[in-house]
Structure 1
Amino acid sequence: MDLPHHGHRATKPRARTGPPAGDPMLFDDTSSGGPQMTNQGYYNSGYMSGPPAAGAGAGAGVGVNNLFTDPMANAAVMYGSSIANQGKDIVNKEISRFVSMNKLKYFFAVDTKYVIKKLMLLMFPYTHQDWEVRYHRDTPLPPRHDLNAPDLYIPSMAFITYLLLAGMALGIQKRFSPEVLGLCASTALVWMVIEVFAMLLSLYLLTVHSDLSTFDLIAYSGYKYVGMIFTVLCGLLFGSDGYFVALAWSSCALMYFIVRSLKMKILSSLSSDSMGAGASAKPRFRLYITMATAIFQPVIIYWLTSHLVR
């Protein structure tokens, strides 16, 4: 259930447009047509122990063939897939009890073209110019009609891919166990809950008015899994050097993406708070929230991936 924000909603003029002619605005189930994200993911574990694979030198990468031929890695991937599917079913069942499915369906209204463009935007956001979310009759356009709209399809698929790659990495390093992979999944979910809750609490305590919903925050928080997949995959293939290069790139790209996206939701609503006591402090609070959210992303990425690559 979306948590309400106190205060008036932002009065910033919204860019209005309509969906392409002949195409229903939203709620056609096209999520199954989106490409599955593969070959990317990772995990943190200050909780795992055990020696690295025999003969593995410090910073040595894992060969490409070993990623797919190691029996332990394959077993770990299969187990990770089972956990991910069970978790997906449980989450869908629980969500349907408390949330309107039409509202949730909006965040999964994607197609193949949107997914490819969004993945490119997440990894190469620097050339993107227009970050404003589009509206049609005061209703935001669904993701497949607006590249800037947040979605939950990419974060959910990226999270599943992250678990699969984490299981593969642990299997290659002879450290896999169901308990460790379960701890990997629960740790990642707990960090997301903490991040979203901290963001909602900050907006509430500072009485910052925005158009952000709980699902929006979950989507923006979940986009980090795309960079995490890229980071761990590079670490497995190219060793510690590849890991840190990929970590730096994905962290910078994600921070830029978060700042530009949240800026349109938080920093641009100044007109609604331009009057009243303490109004001069509101822009500074908004800037603090936006920057803190962006800076927090690389910390989580490193925490959830560093122990997967040895």
Structure 2
Amino acid sequence: MQRPTTYGQSPPLHHPVPQHVSTVPQLRSPPPPSQSQPQSQNYGNPYQAQQGGAPNGNAFGQYGNFLNDPTAQFAAQFGQTAFKQGQEYLESNVNRYMNISMLKHYFNVTNSYVINKLFLVLFPWRHKPWSRKPDPVRQGLYLPPRDDVNSPDMYIPVMSLVTYILLSSLIAGLRGQFQPELLGSKAATALIVVVLEILGLKVGTYILSISNDSQLLDLVAYSGYKFVGIIVTIAVSQSVNGGKGTGGWVGWGVFFYTFLANSLFLMRSLKYVLLPENNPGPAASGMQTDSRAKRNQRTQFLFFYSYIVQLVLMWILSRA
């Protein structure tokens, strides 16, 4: 039975029910490219595009591919070969003018050798023997300086030359006369003296027909031992005279002592270079007479070099 509608009341309102519900789409990242996809589709990662879709975004894979490239391997091998050939060319040209292996022999020293050698240069009066010891392994060669105190070396002459330059500059500084150019002038004076001395020795050995494979380096080494006596002379003289000079009876006394010690050291040491032993055997008497005359000339030359030349050079260097 229907309820009668009454006048004055509105009918009930009905809300429309939507028939379709729209959903908001969810944002998702695209799936990673598979190996079968071409390289042109890898737009997200430029390194993967260069690596042909390398996984995990490996940025260094391209360098591994570069090293595995045959062209890169050929370039590396070519560079190594060129460097090796250049090194061999440099060594061959340097050895043409200087034997590097022989030069290393002269720097093969020890602390005990340096001390004993300095004592020998300054006090050679009772030293025996003076002959060098031959190398039992290498025939025709001598033992290195570390095994034979009579062997010449380059370490003491080089260090003595440097010490002489620094000591002279120090003394000039104590006097208030130091200038930067003084280092160069002292070094130039010392080097000029040594070069002139070596040239004179080479001319004398050529005239006297003295030949020795290692005589040049030996003569260079022996010419540098004079700086030991010069350093002692300058140091003692400056200490006694209060830095006023190398004169006075103390300075002259030390100078003559170091000069005589250096001269005796050279006379005894250079005998095997300038006075080689002659073994004429069954040679004729004329050849023996000629050998005896040459030996006398070599003895006079050795005396002139050891005493007269060293006196002049040591005086110049000690006064410079």
Question: In which range does the TM-score fall when normalised by the shorter chain?
Answer: 0.5 to 0.7
Three-state SS of the structure 2 residue aligned to 1:139 is coil
Hey, what does 1:285 align to over in structure 2?
Answer: 297
Three-state SS of the structure 1 residue aligned to 2:126 is coil
Q: Is the 8 A contact 1:123 1:227 kept in 2?
A: yes
Are residues 1:110 and 2:118 paired? no
In the alignment, the residues of structure 2 paired with residue 179 and residue 170 of structure 1 have an alpha-carbon distance, to the nearest angstrom, of 12
Match of 2:258 among 225, 250, 256: 250
Code of the residue aligned with 2:305 in structure 1: it is T
Hey, what does 1:128 align to over in structure 2?
Answer: 127
Three-state SS of the structure 1 residue aligned to 2:270 is helix
Alpha carbons of 1:139 and 1:97: their partners in 2 closer, same or farther (altered >3 Å)?
closer
In the alignment, the residues of structure 1 paired with residue 164 and residue 293 of structure 2 have an alpha-carbon distance, to the nearest angstrom, of 40
Alpha carbons of 1:206 and 1:96: their partners in 2 closer, same or farther (altered >3 Å)?
closer
Hey, what does 2:72 align to over in structure 1?
Answer: none
Alpha carbons of 1:175 and 1:235: their partners in 2 closer, same or farther (altered >3 Å)?
same
Match of 1:264 among 269, 272, 283: 272
Are residues 1:221 and 2:241 paired? no
Are residues 1:184 and 2:196 paired? no
Structure 2 unaligned residues grouped into runs of 5+: 1-92, 242-246
Code of the residue aligned with 2:271 in structure 1: it is K
Hey, what does 2:158 align to over in structure 1?
Answer: 156
Hey, what does 2:312 align to over in structure 1?
Answer: 299
- Once the two structures are superposed, residues 110-143 of structure 1 have per-residue CA deviations (whole angstroms, 9 ceiling, x without a partner) of 0001000000000000110100011123221000
Q: Is the 8 A contact 1:131 1:264 kept in 2?
A: no
- Greater shift, 238-247 or 193-202, is seen at 238-247
Q: Is the 8 A contact 1:199 1:289 kept in 2?
A: no
Following TM superposition, the consecutive aligned residue runs of length 4 or more in structure 1 with deviations greater than 6 angstroms are 94-97
- Once the two structures are superposed, residues 188-215 of structure 1 have per-residue CA deviations (whole angstroms, 9 ceiling, x without a partner) of 1011111111111111112134565211
In the alignment, the residues of structure 1 paired with residue 280 and residue 207 of structure 2 have an alpha-carbon distance, to the nearest angstrom, of 17
Q: Is the 8 A contact 1:163 1:181 kept in 2?
A: yes
Alpha carbons of 1:96 and 1:207: their partners in 2 closer, same or farther (altered >3 Å)?
closer
Hey, what does 2:5 align to over in structure 1?
Answer: none
In the alignment, the residues of structure 2 paired with residue 169 and residue 186 of structure 1 have an alpha-carbon distance, to the nearest angstrom, of 18
In the alignment, the residues of structure 2 paired with residue 213 and residue 190 of structure 1 have an alpha-carbon distance, to the nearest angstrom, of 20
Of structures 1 and 2, the one with the larger relative CO (CA 8 A, separation 6+) is 1
Three-state SS of the structure 2 residue aligned to 1:270 is coil
Alpha carbons of 1:108 and 1:95: their partners in 2 closer, same or farther (altered >3 Å)?
farther
Shift of residue 270, structure 1, vs aligned partner: 3.1
Code of the residue aligned with 2:312 in structure 1: it is V
TM-score normalized by the length of structure 2 = 0.63
Q: Is the 8 A contact 2:165 2:183 kept in 1?
A: yes
Structure 1 unaligned residues grouped into runs of 5+: 1-93
- Greater shift, 298-307 or 266-275, is seen at 266-275
Question: What is the Cα-based RMSD across aligned positions, in Å?
Answer: 2.2
TM-score normalized by the length of structure 1 = 0.65
Code of the residue aligned with 1:259 in structure 2: it is M
Code of the residue aligned with 1:261 in structure 2: it is S
**Higher-Rg member (1/2):** 2
